[in-house]
Amino acid sequence: MPATFVVVPQWQGSGSSRALRLSDGAEAIRGDLPASLTRLVEVPLEAGDELGSGLPRLGSLQLVRDRTLAVLADVDDWALTIGGDCGVALAAVDHALTRTAGDVAVVWFDAHPDLNTVESSPSAAFSGMVLRTLLGDGVAPLVPTTPLSAERLVLAGVRSIDDDENDFVAASAIRRVGVDSLSDPADLLDAIAAGGATSVYIHIDLDVLDPAELAGLSDPVPFGVSAAALVAAVRAVKGRYRLAGASIAGFSPASVDEASDDLPTILRLIGALTAP
């Protein structure tokens, strides 16, 4: 069990027409978490200004990042951060990098690699730039003091990648594990081991799952990972490495009923991350 669940109902990083539903998704998940272990990060109501950066909503994104870091600073052990959009992982991974002095591999379960920049992004949404920012290539106020090393990044389940992102990955030391390979965790474990880290941060954007597994996705991509394979992969990683932190993002249910239908799958993932 993590020391703390940190719920961050941020929507400002999303470019989806369903962005505001990400807040509802975070709140729906919060309703099933132990209240005594859960901290809520207040997210501003306004979209926020780009502040001359070229990044829409930067003001709000920076405020939420700072508030999340302040909550995480009081956590003695690892935390499970619940979004909201994928931008919530910015503070959570930054916190893990600081706590481990960079000795952490990041496993990024996502249908998209989130490796765009302000200049390359087709959507201009920060959720598609968060991982590139963590690698040290982003809007200056959001870049972490200790950037993530490309050698310690593993993309898992990615199947929708822009041309600029593909070029960036090809020219880097980033490792990829495809959907089919996740049916057996061995390839994922080998990819993590190749980076040499002794601890792991696990990020799960729920769109890594096949859309048949979860209805409440703002950007579903066909031919995704099954819930069973994802749970097995998480358990295998936890069985070999100390967990430095984790995040789950991307739940945007269309209604209360739809949220109820999806929550058992999400709770299985939370259980895999938090089981002893």
Q: What is the pLDDT of residues 138-183, one digit of tens each?
A: 999 999 999 999 999 999 999 999 999 999 999 999 999 999 999 9
Which domains, ranges and CATH numbers included, belong to the chain? 4-274 (3.40.800.10)
Confidence check: pLDDT of 231 > 80 = yes
| Average of per-residue pLDDT across 239-259 | 96
Per the model's pLDDT, the better-predicted residue between 73 and 3 turns out to be 73
Query: Which tokens in the block code for residue 125?
Result: 């949404």
Give yes or no for a contact between 84 and 249, defined as CB atoms under 8 angstroms apart.
Answer: yes
pLDDT band at 18 (very low <50, low <70, confident <90, very high): confident
Sign of CA dihedral 248, 40, 64, 144: negative
Distance from C-alpha of 142 to C-alpha of 147, rounded to nearest angstrom = 11
Distance from C-alpha of 142 to C-alpha of 134, rounded to nearest angstrom = 8
pLDDT score, position 1: 58
Whole-angstrom distance between the N-terminal and C-terminal Cα of the chain? Answer: 6
**pLDDT exceeding 70 applies to what percent of the chain?**
99
Q: Which residues, including other chains, have CB under 8 Å from residue 12's CB and lie 6 or more apart? A: 19, 43, 44, 47, 48, 57, 60, 61, 64, 85, 87, 126
pLDDT band at 35 (very low <50, low <70, confident <90, very high): very high
Confidence check: pLDDT of 2 > 70 = no
pLDDT band at 3 (very low <50, low <70, confident <90, very high): confident
Confidence check: pLDDT of 76 > 90 = no
- The model's pTM: 0.97
Confidence check: pLDDT of 198 > 90 = yes
